Chain A
């Protein structure tokens, strides 16, 4: 993996479904992995910043895991709600600057 990649590109689930997305990143010289939620016409909102291999973070119904050795992170949403509809971005941070390298995002649509 040379760049930050996210899959799937888009996802359509029904209210109450649980879902998960994948973020793959270069595992060498890992420093930090960020997850953002970006609703249409709003600012990207930070969900998690993860730095340690095996790290798990949770915010309400959303949680994330991190595997720095194999270069991937999963984002889970339990019991999806329509207000979860957004694009979910992951980004890799370096140790030398605030520069973030973003994936192209997973667009989630939750319908009733």
Chain B
């Protein structure tokens, strides 16, 4: 069974641009969550999607948005990039949403660098 895949793996953008990251969950998984990791910080929760609906959102500005498609693939978008958005962005999939006891499977991440 293929794992969670994320594309692209590396990305370089300049301030003010926007970026879209993609996540394909494990087949059969319908919940996708996104996390950001910056140096010195633990993984910070961005948002969670299930059945094309955002179920939960972390404490991030509105420049961060996402969506989920009918095949459970998810994208996240960051508009008007800032230097502080440079980070590793991870997505995780699980069979079902809700219940923080569900095992989540992570992708390898997308490393975004904003110059």
The one of B42, B90, B97 in contact with A105, judged by C-beta atoms closer than 8 angstroms, is B42
Q: Is B101 an interface residue, CB under 8 A from the partner?
A: yes
Q: Is A13 an interface residue, CB under 8 A from the partner?
A: no
The range of chain B's interface size is 20 to 34
Q: Give B35-66 as 1s and 0s: 1 = Cβ < 8 Å from A's Cβ atoms.
A: 10000111111001000000110100000000
The one of A42, A46, A51 in contact with B104, judged by C-beta atoms closer than 8 angstroms, is A46
Question: For window 97-112 of chain A, which residues contact chain B by CB distance below 8 Å?
Answer: 97-105
| Interface residues contributed by chain A, number (CB under 8 Å) | 29
A97 touches B100 (CB 8 A): yes
Query: Which of the segments A63-71, A78-86, A87-95 contacts the partner chain?
Result: A87-95
CA of A21 to CA of B12, assembled, Å: 36
The one of B4, B100, B105, B108 in contact with A100, judged by C-beta atoms closer than 8 angstroms, is B100
The answer to whether A100 and B104 touch (CB under 8 A), given A89-B42, A93-B99, is yes
Taking Cβ atoms with an 8 Å cutoff, the residues of A that contact B are 4, 31-32, 34, 36, 41-46, 49, 51, 89, 91-105
Besides A31-B99, A97-B97, 20 new A-B residue pairs in contact (Cβ under 8 A), listed by A number: A31-B100, A32-B99, A34-B103, A43-B3, A43-B4, A43-B109, A49-B103, A92-B100, A96-B98, A97-B55, A97-B56, A98-B33, A98-B97, A98-B99, A99-B56, A100-B33, A101-B42, A102-B35, A102-B43, A104-B42
